[in-house]
Amino acid sequence: MSTDQELKELVKEKYGEIALQSKEQNETSCCGSGGCCTTSAEFTVMAEDYTHLPGYVATADLGLGCGLPTEFAQIKPGDTVVDLGSGAGNDAFVARSIVGETGYVIGIDMTEPMLEKANKNIKTLGYTNVEFRLGDIENMPIANDTADVIVSNCVMNLVPNKQKAFAETFRILKSGGHFSISDIVLNGALPDSIRSAATMYAGCVSGAQQKEEYLQTIKNAGFINITVQKDREINIPNELLVKYISLEEALEYRKSGAGIYSITVYADKP
């Protein structure tokens, strides 16, 4: 489709636009902040409800995730947690409520408007044990053996070089540390027109790996005890599909048995 750098710039552009909107605008607007007639539903259709979790901050929730990794991450008081692709801070603030004052949370994001929104939230909330860093998940601005726990929500599928991203995840985890990551994977082939659509890449679909390939990528990075904690099929509405394929192709795709899934995966660093 595009070079790795072009894909990264696409993601930065799309999520930079989304950062300037509220969750409600992202879910309902058919014209995004850039003025183009593209719905934000490609980015929010997979989200799960965070409002019941301790530490939830409404202004940090842009509806961009595909799971609830912090709910499964076995975070303990005093832990150092790193959130990959932290956005406006949604998972970071939930993690902060668990680690308490003796713990620390670091968020990494490559989109400057997202970091601005996250840092505004920190200032409003007065937190001193959360920070957000500008950085690329393929080359994280974090020292070796920093994190007890890593979380990430619907971000790894946006990274062109997933193997490098998981190698970096391994590097910054302490020995005996673990991650819980929610992500989009595929079961079966997507129509070519969806796989080649740039917007559907940024919307977490066309850049997704096959499930078994994704799990193998994690194993190749050196992780052990790899466990799928949650597995949920995502139903992409026909009105979104027909932006990229014909109605006949959409119906054929429905019949094919292929599917798009949100999975939450746990793994340990030995």
pLDDT at residue 1, rounded to an integer: 46
Q: How many residues does the chain have?
A: 270
Which CATH number goes with the domain that contains 34?
Answer: 3.40.50.150
pLDDT at residue 257, rounded to an integer: 74
Residue in the structure block whose two tokens are 């490559």? 110
pLDDT at residue 39, rounded to an integer: 40
For the entire predicted model, the pTM comes to 0.84
pLDDT at residue 33, rounded to an integer: 31
pLDDT at residue 235, rounded to an integer: 80
**Radius of gyration from C-alpha coordinates of the chain:** 18
- Give the number of other Cβ atoms within 10 Å of residue 257's Cβ: 8
pLDDT tens-digit map of 168-214: 999 999 999 999 999 989 888 776 666 665 455 445 565 778 999 99
Range of the domain at 47: 4-268
Alpha helices in 126-264 (DSSP H): 162-172, 192-195, 198-202, 211-220, 238-241, 247-256
Hey, what amino acid is at 262? S
pLDDT at residue 44, rounded to an integer: 54
In the chain, the N- to C-terminal Cα span, in Å, equals 36
Judge whether 183 and 213 are in contact, CB under 8 Å. no
Q: How many domains does the chain have?
A: 1
Q: Which residues of the chain have pLDDT under 70?
A: 1-2, 4, 6-46, 191-206
Residue whose C-alpha is closest to residue 229's, from 244, 241, 218, 240:
218
